[in-house]
Amino acid sequence: MSCGACCASFRVSFYWAEASDLPDALTERVSPLYSCMAGTHSKAPRCAALQGEIGGAVACSVYAQRPSPCREVVAGDAKCLAARQRHGLP
């Protein structure tokens, strides 16, 4: 709710069947087996479901349906810290 850095740092990919819980416009197919959140398959990734300003007030517009990578994020782990650093956050 006050960060969002991880939603704008990595490709958020998952087994394609998980996409059935999400609006079509918010996912992209990246291979026969995998899909990703729209906007995250990019050199400057930002999930299309993320609302708000990184490091300010943010929200996931599909929080209840978010895919498994989003559910596995652990605040303060190495990827979290790398994402925050990427966005100039402490």
> What backbone torsions phi and psi does residue 20 show, to the nearest 5 degrees?
-65, -20
Q: x/- binding map, residues 10-39, to ligand SF4, per CB under 6 A?
A: --x------------------------x--
66 touching ligand SF4, by CB under 6 A: yes
What letter represents residue 72's amino acid?
A: E
Say if CB 25 and CB 38 are below 8 A apart: yes
5 touching ligand SF4, by CB under 6 A: no
> Shortest approach of ligand SF4 to residue 41 CB, angstroms?
12
Stretch that binds ligand SF4, among 13-21, 28-36, 62-70, 82-90 (CB under 6 A): 62-70
Distance from chain centroid for Cα 24: 15
